[in-house]
Chains A and B, each alone.
Chain A
Amino acid sequence: MTDWRSGASLAALQARSRLLGNIRAFFAQRQVLEVDTPILARFGVTDPAIEPLRSVASAPEGASMFLQSSPEFAMKRLLAAGSGPIYQLGKAFRHGEVGARHNPEFTLLEWYRPGLPAKELIREVAELVCECLDRDDWSVVSYGALFEEVLGLDPWAVSASELKAVAAGQLDVGTLDLDYDGWLDLLMSHVIEPSLALRGLLFVCDYPPSQAALAGCTDRDGRRVAERFELYVDGIELANGYQELLDVWELEQRAAQDNERRRAGGQEERALDSRLVAAMKEGLPPCSGVALGVDRLLMAQLGVDRLSAVMPFDWSRA
């Protein structure tokens, strides 16, 4: 038995320690407040693509609690209470996500900037990541332009069956049965992402509204877009950010849609966090926020392709 040992080298553990220190220094210099919200909370996200881990620890009423898939809701409650800019460096959990680039428990850096539009938060993310990786090759492309470039199609103008035909021409999709967003996800993860390997630090912005998650939407160049962005580093997804949705009615609509999809997919429904709703009713300041995978950032820094090489103990050794 050697699996009591760390999968990461001592050099990787030292780099990890330096990286965490550098991140904290970056925010200290910019006077962003470090916060430390609960890992166990009463509500999980409604997003059908994210399965939180349920704990045995129970809330006073007897319901089980959830290990957080992101500290987003708690941090938004702090923002609504007037915290100003905040960041958090901590653990997040996603049930069932195991692979070379996924681990059910991982280290997430999440931060929020009141008053900042997404475009300016992109700049700050670029500054942090460029500093950590000692690079400066970053650029921005819109989701629509990227699909046009790589696949010659406009995601706003195609149907699910057209997307399926394009996917089937590139991959063995067998009997896969997906909806419009499912096919977009498949093309994004299987065809577009690998093509980004040579494009350095690339921010993809302006997603289709159906993929807004918790981003606000706006009209740009005659089409409705979600003010969401993702950062890819050499083809590996590193961060996901939003100009945050402020409208609580819209939030409730999206949660209801999420639960409809959960029902259809045989997943358990999730109650929307009533304390987040109350905080947003009180008023979330206009802000942008982003979540960044710290383990993957370290992978990029060290030039390795498996999370197990940068985590003291990955899932197989935890």
Chain B
Amino acid sequence: MANYSTNEFRSGLKVMLDGDPCSILDNEFVKPGKGQAFNRVRMRNLKTGRVWDRTFKSGESLEGADVMDTTMEYLYTDGEFWFFMEPNTYEQYQADAAAVGDTHKWLKEQEPCEVTLYNGTPLSVSPPNFVELEITETDPGLKGDTAQGGSKPATLSTGAVVRVPLFISQGEVIRVDTRSGEYVARASKS
């Protein structure tokens, strides 16, 4: 991989640091009037998700990381691994629990999602921003309470639990924002 110097650091650039692939979020050039120039770099460790500020001497360089974001189709899980398919090549990839993390609760079979590959293996998986899932369990719906704005927990087909308005019943399909884990709307049943 190429090396990148601090003046090439841009938001989104993937580099290796302390043996882990990292994504650069922000890069600030800092220089006292006379003296050493620094770059204060905000980065995310793509393995742990941790975000932190690290200071470098200006002109220092880091090795690029072989990291690629690809849209793949989620196939199934065997309990230990989650399987994804690259839709153009039909090549299959297996991701472990560390890569999938909390995302598993939004994964719906045959739906596309973003898989980040590092050296050819899944490093992390991101769900689409919105998913539509069926409610498998919730308290019975109540009529006439739409104005109250109360909510209740509902378990979805993937196991995720979200709060839904009281009038929603079991068996309905709802739209959820995966970034906040919040109910958005009823989805039209297909």
Contacts and interface: CB of A to CB of B under 8 A. Distances in A.
A102 B31 contact: yes
Nearest to B52: A172
A189 B30 contact: yes
Given A97-B29, A100-B28, A49 B35 contact: yes
Interface in A164-186: 171-174, 176, 178, 181-182, 184-186
Contact of A176 (B7, B28, B29, B57): B57
Contacts of A100: 28-29
B148 interface: no
Given A96-B7, A102-B29, A47 B56 contact: no
A19 interface: no
B56 A176 contact: yes
B38 interface: yes
A237 interface: yes
B34 A240 contact: yes
Contacts of A211: 34-35
Interface string B48-77: 000011111111000000000000000000
B55 A99 contact: no
Contacts of A190: 30, 38, 40, 55
B89 interface: no
A188 interface: yes
Contacts of A186: 36, 38, 55
B88 to A, nearest CB: 33
A189 B32 CA distance: 6
A136 to B, nearest CB: 24
Interface residues of B, number: 23
A98 B36 contact: no
Nearest to B17: A174
B37 interface: yes
Nearest to A267: B59
A174 B56 contact: yes
Contact of B33 (A99, A184, A240): A240
A277 interface: no
> How extensive is the interface on chain A, given as a class?
20 to 34
Nearest to A99: B29
B36 A174 contact: no
Given A174-B56, A189-B38, A98 B33 contact: no
B54 A188 contact: no
Q: Report which residue of B7, B33, B54, B57 has the largest number of chain A beta carbons within 10 angstroms of its beta carbon.
A: B33
Interface string B159-186: 0000000000000000000000000000
Nearest to A47: B34
A182 B38 CA distance: 10
A96 B52 contact: no
Given A98-B7, A190-B30, A181 B35 contact: yes
Contacts of B32: 185, 188-189, 193, 237
Given A96-B7, A98-B29, A102-B31, A185 B36 contact: yes
A116 interface: no
A174 B28 contact: no
Interface in A229-282: 230, 237, 240
Contacts of B59: 96
A100 B40 CA distance: 12
Contacts of B18: 174
Contacts of A98: 7, 29
A189 B57 contact: no
Contacts of A181: 35-36
* In the complex, the 3 A-B pairs of residues with the closest C-beta atoms, listed nearest first: A99-B29, A185-B35, A185-B36
Interface of B: 7, 17-18, 28-38, 40, 52-59
Interface of A: 47, 49-50, 96-100, 102, 171-174, 176, 178, 181-182, 184-186, 188-190, 193, 211, 213, 230, 237, 240
25 contacts: A50-B34, A96-B58, A98-B7, A98-B29, A99-B29, A99-B30, A100-B29, A171-B53, A172-B53, A173-B55, A174-B17, A176-B56, A176-B57, A181-B36, A184-B35, A185-B32, A185-B35, A185-B36, A186-B38, A188-B32, A189-B32, A190-B38, A211-B35, A213-B34, A237-B32
